[in-house]
Amino acid sequence: MKDYKNTGAPESTITFDKVKIEAPTENIYKAIAIMSKRASQVNEDLKSELIDKLEEFATFNDSLEEVFENKEQIEVSRFYERLPKPTAIAVQEWLDDEIFYRTPEIDNDKLD
């Protein structure tokens, strides 16, 4: 799992330079599609990681310990709420040139 806390992605909304975003593909729509797919991947990673951590605290009986366990679940949930949003992470990875992508029609032309 990648450490998404230290990605350098902004936690609040900021404006990005369109020229920098479209530079690798020379097409803003293609760049946005790539970042969108990466954001979906990041979201799935974070979701599965959160579910795994919350399942560690799952109990199947009622007891006084349940209140303590719920506090731990709340802390884990708050940690994930404070992380940058998957879209912000994807944009930052795109700008840092950390996303690998390929265009099948261009790659096939190179093979001929």
**Per-residue model confidence as pLDDT tens digits over 57-80:** 766 655 555 555 577 788 888 888
Rounded to 5 degrees, what are φ and ψ at 62? -95, 125
Are the C-beta atoms of 39 and 86 separated by less than 8 Å? yes
CB atoms within 10 A of CB 75: 10
Reported as a pLDDT band with limits 50, 70 and 90, residue 31 is: very high
- One-letter identity of residue 58: A
Tell me what the mean pLDDT of segment 39-43 comes to. 95
Spatial distance between the Cα atoms of 62 and 86, rounded to a whole number of angstroms: 35
Q: Look at residue 6 and tell me whether its pLDDT is greater than 80.
A: no
